[in-house]
Structures are given as C-alpha cells and as structure tokens.
Structure 1
Amino acid sequence: MMRHLRHIFSVLWLLCMSSGYAGCLDAPQLRGVNLSGAEFNSKNLPGLRHKNYTYPSRNDLAYFKAAGMNVIRLPFRWERVQRQTFAPLDPGELAQLRQLVGWATELDMCVILDLHNYGAYFGRPIGSAEVPAAAFADVWLRLHQAFGNPDTTAFGLMNEPSAITVPQWMTLAQHTVLALRRAGSKNLILVGSGRWSGAHEFAKPFDGVTATEAFRSFIDPGHNFAIELHQYTDPNYAGTGSQCISAERLEAIMTGVSAWAKQEKKRLFLGEFGVGRSGECLAALQVLLASMQVQDIWLGWTYWSAGPWWGNYPLSIQPNHGIDAPQMEVLRRYLE
C-alpha cells in the first residue's frame, strides 16, 4: 500500500513539475546551472569515474528543477567521452550522458552538453598535427548521432577555447556548425567567443580581431545558435575569488554586450557566471541577472556552479545538508 502511494505521489509530483514544458526549444528563456564533476581532474585523463571525476545525480537535477530552473549545463571532457580521436564514443561515458539526459527529460529540463576542453585534447591544441581540426567535427558528429533530439539537448561546442587563437577558433567553430547542420542537426548550438569567453573583453582585439567582428560574418544555416559568454565578478574575472567588483562596473559590461547584440540581431547566452557570498557579491549577482531580462537578446544563462564535489568553493550553490546557498535567494527571484 505504501509503495503504491509513493508511486502515485511521484507521478503527481512530476506532472506538477512538468506543467509548461521547458525543453531546449520551447522555453521562453533558459535559466539554470552548471552541474560540475565530469570535467574534474583535467591532469588525470581519462581517469577513473567516481575517483577522479563524477556525474551529478538525479536528486541534483530535481533540486534545481524544484527551484524553478529549466536547463542544466553539463561540463565533461572530450578525452573521456572519446578516448582516441576519430574513434567511437566510449560506451561507459555515453551511458552516463544518456542517463543524465533521460533524467532531465523526465523533469522537462534541457541539457547543454558542454565540451569542457579549452581548445585542446590531451593538452594538444586543436588544429595541431596531433589533433587535426577534423577531429573536433568528428566528436560532435558522433555526439549528434547519440543526442540529436533538439527538444532535450543543446550543444556547447567548446568551453573557453584559450589554447588556440581567436581566428583559429572562429574558423573551427564555423566549420563544425556547418558540418552539424549538413548532418541534419536541429539542436541549439552555443558558440563561445575566443579565449576565456569574457563579456568584459568581447570587443577587445586579440590576434588581430575582436569577437564582435568575427561574429558579424558567422553563419548558421539552421538559424538556431547563440554566442556564449562568461562573466565572473572577482577583480581578475577568473571565478576563483570571493571578492567582487562594483555592480556599476558589471552593469556597464553587460549593457555594452547587450547593445551590440541588439544592433547586430544576435542572441547571447551567459554560460558561466558566479559570485561569492558577501553582500557586495550578491548585489553583483542581482545586476547580472537583471541585465539579462530582455529575452529577444538573452537566450538565457547557467550559473557557475553546483555539483557534489565542490566542497567549500565560494561560488557553489550546491545545497549543504538541505540548506540553500545564499546565492539561491537572489537566483530564485529570476526563476519565477
């Protein structure tokens, strides 16, 4: 009897949580969190699952769904999902990814598959003799074969491609997007700007070009891509400290990129941003979230970060024994 009642309660809970589907294509705006763990220990590759790296649990997804979030950005390493270039995807890692996408689908959440590799593979830059550019398109075509449902998954091409120059990255990203569309992909594709994808340097020239210039000529035949930016609030914009720059300075950064996107008719996505727990930092978080309310410019955002292995990381919003992190109070205001 008790088992039967629990089953009924679970079904009713899922129906309540699913009122108003919030998949990758249908949500007015994607609002969520990075669930870290699968990208951990980059110096131990591929490493051992549950020892060197881990995947989030269904309870992790359910907590953030209950908070009002509709998207999970899942960072993972290329070296783990594909142990050799041009080889089939690793069955064990593929099973982990499929399980997580399945949980998210049950909860009506979108999953952004984020190849968290900084423009390299086993430490070698993409485009080098050891890692030809075609290898990058190959892994994404294989991921597309496994996760081609555009309602449930989006593709985050490359996290912070700092190992290669901005022109190299933009050429690589363009070729990969075209290859995915030729293969029939209808998934949302997030294309990071070069280097560390910082919104604060979006208009700054590197390697002879600015990201603003490079994206003016970027083409997506599927008309379903957004420019992924990151913006941390500590003084060096690294996401490692608990101090924050002024809210006014952040507001100017976000106003600048929003104005460019409106002028160029581009969509933006803030894939990483995070703050410490001080009053100053929570004010900075408020400014960042308020600046992304214009939905025809901002496709959405994923806070950095949560996940079971963060420990005392000051930016983490992983609940601690059922207690919300202070940042969640601010985030919840923008999840209603």
Structure 2
Amino acid sequence: MRFSNTSAAVCAALLPRAAATIYYAGVAQSSGEFGVWSATATKGTGLPGRFGVDYQFISTSGVDIMTDQHKVNLHRVAFLLERMCPPSYGLGAKFNETHFDYFKQAVDYITKTKGAYAILDPHNYMRYNDPSSQPFSGSVIGNTLDPTAATTTQFGAFWGELAARFRTNEKVIFGLMNEPHDMPSSLLVANLQAAIDAIRKEGAKNLIIAPGNSWTGGHSWTEGGAEASSNWIHKLADPEENLAIDIHEYLDEDFSGGHAACTQDPATNLAGVTAWLKEHKLKAFVTEFGGSNTTACTTILNGILDYMAQNEEYIGWTAWAAGPFWGPNSPCCTDSKQWGSLEPGSKAANGGPSLYDTVWVPVIQKKVPAELQWSGIASVNGGKLEKKA
C-alpha cells in the first residue's frame, strides 16, 4: 500500500475453462515489515528489530479464523529484504537465518498446518538498504548510477536462494516485489527477469506473480507513455509458463488507499489493464485493494470483487490488510482515523468495531467463493475447486 504521508496438476489445469473463476481468495498479512519507520529518516532504524516486539509475520489465531471460519485459501505475507539480507551482508544468497526461520514458521503454518496458499511479499518497492522512510527511501535495485545500490544480479541471487528453500512447497507463491515505482520500466523488467531466471534455475515450478511500475496500479497500467507497464511487463519470459501479474487497485480519489471516501469505479479503471491481460493471454491477482465502512465503499468494494469474478483474467485476490501489529491503527482507507484493521479481534481506538467487523465480515467475506483450490500447485490455470472442509 502507498500511504499519502509515507507511505490437480498443472497439465490437468490446462484444460479450457467455460467461465471466469477465482481460485485463490484471502487477505494480506501486514506486520512483518513493521518497526523500521523513522520520523527523522534515520537509516538503520529498527534493524534487525525484535521479533514479537517490533514486528511479527502473522497471528496464528487470526490465520485460523480467516482460514477455518471465513474459508479463505490465500494469505500474502510481507517481509523486509533488509531483515532477510541485512545490509552488512548485502542483498543476495546469504540470509539472517534466525529471521528466515521466523518467516518460514509463518509460511509453514499457513501452507502446511492450515492447507492454504501463501504469497511471499518482499515489501520493498524495488529498493534496498534503507527502509526508514519507505516507500521512498533506499536505493533502487539495479541502478548503476548509484554506487550504494544492490545490483540486478544480487536481486536474482536473493530470489534463487529463497526459491531453493521453498521449491518443495507447492502452496508457496513467489510475489517478486511490492509496488515498484519511480524507476525506468526497462530496469524493472531486467530485475524481474533476473528473479524469474534464478527461481527456475533452482528447479522451482511455483507460481510467480510479477508487478508493474507506478505502484503496480491497475488504473495506471496503460499510462505513462513509453514507461507504461503495458509496454513492458508482457516481455517477461517464464519457461514454466506459470507467471501471473500482480495488480493493486484502491478506490479513493488518488488511488492511494489513504482516504475514507470511495470515488473510483473499478470497472472503468481496470478496463485498460484487463484488455492488456486479454491481449497477452495473461492472468492476474489483485493483491491489494480496500475500502472504508461507508455506504459508497460497500457498493464499490462489491463492484471490484464482482468485476474480478466476472472477468477470466483475474484468478485471485487478497484484501488489504490484516496483521497482528496494527492494533487500533488502520492499514487503509480512513483519512488517518483509527478504525482498526481486517485482523480478527481488532478494535477501533474508541473500543468500537474495527474494519474487520464493518468491512471484512459484512462485505468482503461474502464474496469469498464457496469453492476454491485447496490442493495441488498454485497455477495460472487454477486447479480442482472444492469447499473447505
């Protein structure tokens, strides 16, 4: 999210589908990227941080409720590159093993204990070395004019190592990067291709989802002239042909997800990227969207969920956001009011109902399909649909 102030088998699945289908639906788990923001932009703040105090990936009870009661089969789990690969190491194949173990425990809980799918989400905006003022701080990965920047090769090495560690878990989905922005689209494609190549070199057949430029916004996919994502992202090549597109789409006036009022029509704003997906025979996930508890937002949230369900280009979504560390603060759509989050059990600052109570339960949860994919490798072609036991 961009805040205004800072922010069966794959071959069987290749059979043609008669209608649009959502195979994966759930929630973004945001808290693993917490603890590093600095009001004074002090580099190194909160690194490596104290697990369970400064940051945490999931609440197991929250995942239980979402998966068992609300029948979601997908969780997107945010983490920071600077914790997985501390700046003292540099970005690459050398990990902080303590931190990785915490992350793996969360992913294993979702995928092995609960039987759902997990998107790995490096929440770094295609930047590395200073998350103190994300989404703008840190050096753009691959920027050869910045001597402090991590290289494209290093980004590939990181993804090769992470893929090697999860390649035997077919329920893991590799989300290559959260919301790249303000960089040449040619460099973005080079970085993403390096990651795809490294993942496949390790023998991992897992589903990959790749973002576009300009915060990977669906509404802006065809905008920006020569730099528009629509001119670049289809150039990515995956030998496994198991690559989907990662799209974000907020519903407020400036598409930031910072405002309570929903004013943007998703059918209109997603028309361009949907046509592009269809042209290039690609599938997509909307891994961030959200709205407040207003009547207008209820209507427009239903609109975006219905739009995805009615257009075969969309195969999955995760709403923004749940997570154990939000407390009364809101991840989305409140003009900085403290209305809580989508985390089960959360409360607003006044002790009243949270966005879980006023947005997730009455609106978004009702659009979780009764049948989703619960077994087999995640695939752009989906798999066997069944009800959650």
Instruction: Tell me the TM-score normalised to structure 2 length.
Output: 0.75
Q: Identify which of 294, 302, 306 aligns with 1:278.
A: 294
> 1:198: which partner in 2?
217
Question: Do structure 1's residue 147 and structure 2's residue 179 form an aligned pair?
Answer: no
Equivalent residue in structure 1 for 2:263, among 245, 267, 276: 245
Q: Distance in 2 between matches of 1:312 and 1:209?
A: 35
Q: Deviations over 1:186-225 (max 9, x none)?
A: 011110001201111000125x332112123221111001
**1:60 and 2:62 aligned:** yes
The change in CA–CA distance for 1:280 and 1:314 in structure 2 (over 3 A counts) is: farther
Match of 1:334 in 2: 367
**Conserved? CA contact 1:242–1:314, under 8 Å:** no
Residues 281-325 of structure 1: CA deviation (Å, up to 9, x unaligned): 111110110011146411201100011222231632112369742
The aligned counterpart of 1:225 is 243
Structure 1 segment 114-263 matched on structure 2, within 5 A = 114-122=121-129, 123-128=138-143, 129-130=147-148, 131-162=150-181, 164-205=183-224, 208-246=226-264, 249-263=265-279
What is residue 41 of structure 1 aligned with on the other side? 35
Q: Secondary structure at the match of 1:180?
A: helix
Q: Identify the structure with bigger relative contact order (alpha carbons < 8 Å, sequence gap 6+).
A: 2
Residue 94 in structure 1 maps to residue 100 in structure 2 = yes
Q: 1:318 aligned to 2:348? A: no
Match of 1:14 in 2: none
Alpha-carbon distance in 2 for matches of 1:126, 1:314 = 26
Residue identity matched to 1:118 = Y
Give the superposition deviation at 1:133. 1.2
3-state DSSP of counterpart to 2:219:
helix
For residues 257-299 of structure 1, what are the alpha-carbon distances to aligned partners after superposition, in whole Å with 9 as ceiling and x for unaligned?
A: 2232122211111011111111111111101100111464112
What is the alpha-carbon distance in structure 1 between the residues aligned to residue 93 and residue 166 of structure 2?
17
Give 1:187's aligned amino acid: N
- Paired residues of 2:266 and 2:307 also in contact (CA < 8 A): no
Residue 10 of structure 1 corresponds to none
For residues 292 and 63 of structure 2, what CA distance do their matches in structure 1 show?
22
Describe the superposition over 1:125-161 as per-residue Cα deviations: whole angstroms up to 9, x where unpaired: 1113331111111111111121113522111101011
* Alpha-carbon distance in structure 1 between the residues aligned to 2:290 and 2:192: 26
Q: Which residue of 104, 116, 130 corresponds with 1:109? A: 116
Per-residue deviation at 1:332? 2.0
* Residue of structure 1 in register with 2:52 after alignment: 50
2:304 counterpart SS class = helix
CA distance in 2, matches of 1:286, 1:185: 36
Residues 28/277 of structure 1: CA separation in 2 closer, same or farther (3 Å cut): closer
For the Cα contact (< 8 Å) 1:157–1:190, is it kept in 2? yes
Percent of aligned pairs with the same amino acid: 28
In structure 1, C-alpha distance between the alignment counterparts of 2:304 and 2:312, rounded to whole Å: 17
Contact between 1:186 and 1:224, CA under 8 Å: does it hold in 2?
yes
Ranges in structure 1 where 5+ consecutive residues have no aligned partner:
1-19
Q: Secondary structure at the match of 2:214?
A: coil
Equivalenced residue count is: 311
Say which SS state the counterpart of residue 200 (structure 1) adopts: coil
State how far apart, in whole Å, the 2-side matches of 1:218 and 1:152 are.
23
Change (3 A) 1:321 1:133: closer
The alignment partner of 1:332 has SS state of helix
Q: Does 1:30 align with 2:24?
A: yes
Tell whether the 8 Å contact from 2:22 to 2:308 is kept in structure 1 after alignment. Answer: no
Helix, strand or coil at the partner of 2:54: coil
Change (3 A) 1:103 1:216: closer
Partner of 1:8: none
Q: Is the 8 A contact 2:222 2:272 kept in 1?
A: no
SS of 1:196 mapped into structure 2: helix
Which has a greater percent of helix?
Answer: 1
Worse overlay, 261-270 or 80-89: 80-89
